[in-house]
Amino acid sequence: MPALVEALRRYLQVRHGVVTTLTASDSVFSLTGHSAPGVPSLPAPQIPGQLTPGSARSDTRAGQSLAPTVENTRPAGSPRSRVWIAVTAGLLLTSIGVGLGIYFGLRDRDRPQPIAHSTTGSPQPTVSTSRPAQTARLKLEPFAEVTVAPGQHRTIPIRIEHSGLTEKVRAVNLTQSPGITCEVGEITEDSRATSLRVQVASSAQPGRRQLRILVQSGTLQDEQTLTLHIEPAVNRLVLRLETPVTIVSGSSREFVCKVQRSIAPGRVEVSLPRPPAGLSLRTQATSGDEVTLTLTAEPLAAPGRRVLSLLASAGMVSQESEIEVTVQTPAAGALFTNSLGMRLALIPAGDFQMGSPAWKTETFLDERPQHWVTIRRAFYMGTQEITVGQFRRFVADSGFRTDAERAGASKTWLNAPEQSDDHPVVFVSWYDAMEFCRWLSRKEGRVYDLPTEAEWEYACRAGSTADYHCGDDREQLASHAWSWDNAGGRRQRVGLKTPNRWGL
């Protein structure tokens, strides 16, 4: 109320040049005024109960006394004073009405709106057809505590709740713990579960371990803790290797494992459930405290360190133990013999200059220009040509007929002159040779192929940069290869000459 009175006083002073003094108490107002400088004075109106200049009265309508002092330079009873009083009262009532309208308008806005009804029939509520937007959600269910013994593994389910995802869900183990290896299965787009394979090494210390498992899809992620309780290795069947095993590709090696057990009587059988590529294991059963194992590395087994999980079983007790194996690359020229009796030599990876230099005149045009070639992977190559006897075994096993035989040629590999099973096979095409390689690949489970031109020259040079692998002296070729000069115009049996540095 005081703010309203002050606003009314300012309005009269600015708009009409009347200087007013208003006081209020409850519902009783007292108004006094005089003209501002330069405004003619008007007589004060004679209203019952109104104070005249220089007088005072007491009003007890609100139970209080009001005794203001009025100073007015206008003549009493002036019509203009009555106009100002009327304007002032009108403004006061208008302000009160506007304030009450705003107040009740705000109250009506907060009231619940009535339900719209149809003009006919029963009232029908207004139903919104819009559906709320689906919120993406990803949650990983908590894990139960898992107990596992050293040398054993556990497969633990991972259950996921999700909805509204736009990206693939993946699960990872965030904790690296000594002696514990974790493998998380793949989560497909529609699946809500996968598995976690936890392998505990036989050397792992007993106690509690906590693994942090995280699932993530885009920016959404959730994490839970998996508690592992590793039991002491008691009443178990354990294989222990005194020293790591080192083996060369293309060879076999025997080694002995110690058997430690307490309540697992009987014969112990050892197997390799998950053999790595290029390695195989032959085992023997034992009733004692040692077992002899034979490890074989394929000729092309990749070099490096591997950890093999051996499964030992005795009666109702079985347990996996880990042993460490290191595969080494053999030296260049290392040999192995396949099931067909072919001897193959290891050709190492490396670089060489292929072709002949431009300044040499006794060369063919397709040998130039000389250029560098890189052989990126080691490979094995036969030390001798394929013999008639080896090709005969291929034809007998597969029923194959060469291109020359199908074409009805007079000379084929069967009737070539002066040949035995130890002579190189002749009158075979490139297609015949490739069919022989495919048959041998199926027979042995490893890939056989014909060498490329670069592989052939690289293997023949055997690291030499001279004209020949044995040097620049042409006369020395007689002891290393057959030619028109020393063969007498006839084919010769294989394996009669001195090989190069790599055994060819």
Tens digits of per-residue pLDDT, 314-371? 777 777 888 888 888 888 778 888 889 999 998 988 999 998 888 887 778 888 888 9
Residues 470 and 340 in one domain: yes
Is the residue at 219 inside a domain?
A: yes
Report the range of poorest mean pLDDT among 117-131, 164-178, 205-219: 117-131
CA dihedral (81, 86, 92, 95) positive or negative = negative
pTM: 0.47
Is the residue at 491 inside a domain?
A: no
Residues 213 and 247 in one domain: no
Does 493 score more than 80 pLDDT? yes
Residues 320 and 223 in one domain: no
Cα–Cα separations (whole angstroms), residue 165 to 15, 64, 86, 140, 169: 69, 75, 73, 14, 8
Is the residue at 17 inside a domain?
A: yes
Is the residue at 501 inside a domain?
A: no
Give residue 212's domain range: 137-230
pLDDT tens digit string along 364-379? 888 888 899 999 988 8
Residues 268 and 349 in one domain: no
**Inter-residue contact 68 to 32 (CB < 8 Å):** yes
Residues 433 and 350 in one domain: yes
Which tops the pLDDT comparison, 314 or 76? 314
Residues 160 and 284 in one domain: no
Residues 221 and 249 in one domain: no
Number of domains in the chain: 4
Residues 366 and 468 in one domain: yes
In this structure, how many other beta carbons lie within 10 angstroms of the beta carbon of residue 15? Answer: 11
Q: Which residues contact 442 (CB under 8 A, 6 or more apart)?
A: none
Report the range of poorest mean pLDDT among 7-11, 318-322, 405-409, 462-466: 7-11
Query: Which contiguous run of DSSP H or E holds residue 103?
Result: helix 79-110
Residues 339 and 321 in one domain: no
